[in-house]
Amino acid sequence: NEAEPLSILEALSEGVPVVASDRGCIPSMLGTGSGRVVAPLDQYVEHAARTIRELIGDPQLIEVARSDARETFDALKLRAKSQLRDLISAIANKGLST
């Protein structure tokens, strides 16, 4: 029920590939890549099982996915910092104009 599930952010920050359903903001949060897979809810179990089998069966693929997960986290962190700066700036500018 979270807007941005912390469990996804925690997994990405540790380089753990994420397989999630397409609920809420998860698709826009994760995008696409080898370290993050978003599946429609009605196809989630099959999609997740296939993805996990592929990752387990290919050591190189899992390393690429782990790296991609960390890069995704770093990008999300930069985006959040930028949004926070913009918010603080908007609040500060609003305070100056009143």
> With 0-12 CB in 10 A as exposed, 13-18 as middle and 19+ as buried, what is 16?
middle
Which pLDDT value is given to residue 12? 94
Residue 2: per-residue pLDDT: 60
What local confidence, expressed as pLDDT, does residue 36 receive?
82
DSSP line for 44-74: HHHHHHHHHHHHHH-HHHHHHHHHHHHHHHH
pLDDT for position 96: 67
What b/e sequence results for 62-97 when a residue is b if at least 16 CB atoms lie within 10 Å of its CB, and e otherwise?
Answer: bebbbebbbebbeebeeeeeeeeeeeeeeeeeeeee
**For the chain, which ranges sit under pLDDT 70?**
1-3, 95-98
What pLDDT is stored for residue 97 in this prediction?
65
Q: What is the pLDDT of residue 98?
A: 56
pLDDT at 62: 93
**What does pTM read for this prediction?**
0.80
